[in-house]
Amino acid sequence: MNDPTVYSLIPVGLLAIYFAIFQTEKLFLSLAFLTPLSVNIEEYTSSFGLFLPTEPLLFGLMILLSAFQLKKGFLPVQVWRSPLIWTIIIYLLWLLLSTITSSHPIVSLKFILARLWFIIPILFFGTYFFQKRSNRIAFLWLFIVATVLVIIYTLIHHSFYGFGEKEGHWVMSPFFKDHTIYGAIVALVLPLTVGLYLYKKHNPLVQMTLLTLIAIILVGLVLSYTRAAWLSVVGSIGVAVVLYYKVSWKSIAVLASIGVVVVLIQWDRIQMELERNKYEHTTEAFDERLQSAANISTDASNLERINRWSCAIEMFKQRPIMGYGPGTYAFEYAPFQRPENLTIISTNFGDMGNAHSEYLGALAETGLIGMLSLIALIFAIFYTGITLYHRLPKANKEDRIIVLSTIMALTTYFIHAFLNNYMDTDKAAVPIWGICAMWLVYERELSTNDQSKATD
């Protein structure tokens, strides 16, 4: 307690308490701006990881708003009827059950607590704050602007090193741990910004501002050197085309089936081509870097990802039902590394990322049921967003564009989630659960309007 910096934080804490009690709505919205700018103290201390200032604020809001809800329920009753909410509850309950048998109970409890302080204040109570339509747009604006500020900082920092690929892995520090999470969030905000530009006719100044933001985001995306982020944007565009033009899901299923058959028939040839692919992820050429995504013979990044996936599968085989416990992968995977899978960047200390897959990470940590509950949750998220988009009247152009752009944003993340996992960070959790909360409010408004028409 002799450190003067501790005492300097007291006024900041008191200010946060004041806003939490008397300006709760403004504090909630401020989280959208603070999230891209938050810093993990783990980078500077030997203590546990904690994102400042967002996670303490989220924890405080969770406690405060939960107390208000218990005293006098203020959340819309319709929220509790949503399949998305019940899927989340089932997912959280399984996390709790798998914590009981966890190999590191304290780690798992911290993991669940972090999940709760993301989900409860942003998703559950977001459905209250987003009843005001202006708050939905403000939330998106604040998150985008703060992310663009980080991109500008990163580009300036990167320019000192000639925009080199190697330096591009860490120049976003201290706001982002590395280029993969940075690229994932830059990809996520791109469709959101385009959506804000298209959803209504702005005055010239706002139009120019949004076009400038889009240009900065595109530059940031390219110079993030994150292949998964680039591919996720392409995937989100594909989803948008399917939804906008109402492409039949049966047609998609038929095409996907044909694709699988072709791959199976041509598998030997495909395997030979993959073995011939020598493009490295360290190249700065955009086309060569994209091709390096399929290099599974010499690219260390790809090989290490395969190593982590193999470890996750082996961990699942050891504990197929309950897994090793939420958040424990980094502490447990080392003994499961096979000598033939080790790379020049392999480590036994869990300091170079986790399972590199949201899905396989869940499989190793929470078992088969845990992974299936996560997949069910993701299915419920997209089912909510897609059905909402189709239910919105065509005349309601503004809401349809916002909903479509948010579907695209979440598509970028969950495509990216095959190759990385960041839902345990505020950077990914806040926009994901914030968007879900908006969708639930849109659903409630539609249901209310339908009921009003039925009684007329």
pTM passes above 0.85: yes
Q: Decide: 217 and 412 in contact? Cβ < 8 Å.
A: no
Kindly state the average pLDDT of the residues 313-341: 92
Position 293 pLDDT exceeds 60: no
Distance CA 386, CA 378 (A): 12
CA nearest to 88, candidates 325, 329, 433, 443: 433
Q: What is the DSSP letter of 343?
A: -
243-252 burial, b if ≥16 CB within 10 A, otherwise e? beeeeeeeee
Determine the pLDDT at residue 361. Answer: 95
Distance CA 78, CA 92 (A): 20
SS3 39: strand
At position 153, the amino acid (one-letter code) is Y
Distances (CA, A) of 181 to 225, 405, 428: 11, 20, 8
Max mean pLDDT range (79-88, 292-301, 326-335, 376-385): 376-385
The residue to which tokens 């500077």 are assigned: 44
Q: Tell me: the pLDDT tens digits for 9-39?
A: 566 666 666 566 667 899 999 999 999 999 9
CA nearest to 343, candidates 293, 310, 301: 301
Residue that wins the pLDDT comparison between 425 and 345: 425
Determine the pLDDT at residue 285. Answer: 54
Position 279 pLDDT exceeds 60: no
91-403-138-78 Cα dihedral, nearest 10 degrees: -50
Determine the pLDDT at residue 6. Answer: 47
Q: Is the N-terminal amide bond of 174 cis, ω within 30° of 0? A: yes
Q: Which contacts of 111-115 are long-range, i.e. CB under 8 A and separated by 24 or more positions?
A: 111/326, 111/327, 111/424, 112/326, 113/59, 114/55, 114/424, 115/326, 115/424
Kindly state the average pLDDT of the residues 221-237: 93
So where are the chain's domains? Answer: 4-249+353-455
Mean pLDDT across the chain: 86
Kindly state the average pLDDT of the residues 424-448: 94
Instruction: Kindly state the tokens that stand for 134.
Output: 């202006």
- Give the pLDDT band of residue 419 (cuts 50, 70, 90): confident
Distance CA 394, CA 39 (A): 42
Determine the pLDDT at residue 238. Answer: 93
Distance CA 98, CA 365 (A): 8
Instruction: Kindly state the tokens that stand for 214.
Output: 């889009």
Instruction: Kindly state the tokens that stand for 147.
Output: 């992310």
The H or E element that residue 63 is part of is helix 54-71
> What's the count of helices (H) and strands (E) in the chain, helices before strands?
18, 2
Q: pLDDT exceeding 70 applies to what percent of the chain?
A: 83
The H or E element that residue 430 is part of is helix 426-455
Find the DSSP H helices in 101-226. Answer: 105-118, 126-129, 133-159, 179-198, 204-222
24-25-30-32 Cα dihedral, nearest 10 degrees: 120
Distance CA 114, CA 131 (A): 25
Determine the pLDDT at residue 203. Answer: 94
Instruction: Kindly state the tokens that stand for 365.
Output: 């940590």
Q: What is the C-alpha end-to-end distance of the chain, expressed in Å?
A: 66
Position 312 pLDDT exceeds 60: yes
Lowest mean pLDDT among 47-51, 64-68, 175-179, 224-228: 47-51
Q: How many other C-beta atoms can be found within 10 angstroms of the C-beta atom of residue 138?
A: 18
**Residue 299, C-beta contacts closer than 8 angstroms, at least 6 positions apart:** 279, 280, 281, 292
Distance CA 232, CA 227 (A): 9
